[in-house]
Amino acid sequence: MRLSIVVPALDEAAGIAAALAALAPLREQGAEVVVADGGSSDATAAIARPLCDRVIVAPRGRALQMNAGAAAARGDVLLFLHADTRLPGNAAEAIGRATRAGGFAWGRFDVVLDSPRPMLKVVARMMNLRSRATGIATGDQGMFMTRAAFAAAGGFAPIALMEDIAMSHTLKRLARPACLRERVLTSARRWETRGVWRTIALMWYLRLAYALGADPAALARRYR
């Protein structure tokens, strides 16, 4: 198995170096790191270039960037990682166990939020339980899939928001996901700045509205 990690980025100059430095041990183990830049107006691409295997410029939009990154990647397992999410040290081993020994075509990690607030620990626990019960993964959880599964799904739907939910629904029709107990650490920034309960309400509203057929572009404007 060769693992390719695709990192979509847009104006991430302040944090991209730390994000890619955290992936250096995985690169040493043979993983490939591809940064898919959505036309950043800052130095994201220049900072990233010496810290990854390649930087590509893609049309702006997380789904479009991830699809372009997957097309440029050479691995037979693809991991899509947000720039503000950190993988566990044994990520490659855990994915290898799931895709080889376990026979899973796709999956995700459990998540923990980088905040000491007790309420956010509860939020992360509920996110993991919900995901395990529904088989729906979010981008914050480090979604991974075999290249064959990615191709069978037709890539990420080119929508402005909920591309991870749409991909999960498509992949669920192919196979059940591997819900790994290993945890990724992701940013609690939106919860801290917008408020925990307000963010919970917004997330549930967005998911319900999407399920009822709302335009993802309109939902993206509401999210921002």
Q: Mind listing the pLDDT tens digit for each residue in 71-93?
A: 999 999 999 999 999 999 999 99
In a domain, 195, yes or no: no
Torsions phi, psi of 99, nearest 5? Answer: -85, -30
Torsions phi, psi of 222, nearest 5? Answer: -65, -40
Note down the domain range covering 26. Answer: 3-188
Residue 68 pLDDT = 98
For the chain, how many structural domains are there in total? 1
In a domain, 203, yes or no: no
Query: Sorting pLDDT into bands at 50, 70 and 90, what band is 189?
Result: confident
In a domain, 209, yes or no: no
Torsions phi, psi of 21, nearest 5? Answer: -60, -35
In a domain, 214, yes or no: no
Q: Is the pLDDT of residue 94 over 90?
A: yes
In a domain, 97, yes or no: yes
In a domain, 24, yes or no: yes
Q: What is the DSSP letter of 178?
A: E
In a domain, 213, yes or no: no
Q: Is the pLDDT of residue 53 over 90?
A: yes
In a domain, 212, yes or no: no
Torsions phi, psi of 186, nearest 5? Answer: -125, 160
Q: What's this model's pTM, rounded to 2 decimal places?
A: 0.94
Instruction: Specify the CATH number for the domain of residue 46.
Output: 3.90.550.10
Residue 188: name the closest of 131, 129, 120 by CA: 120
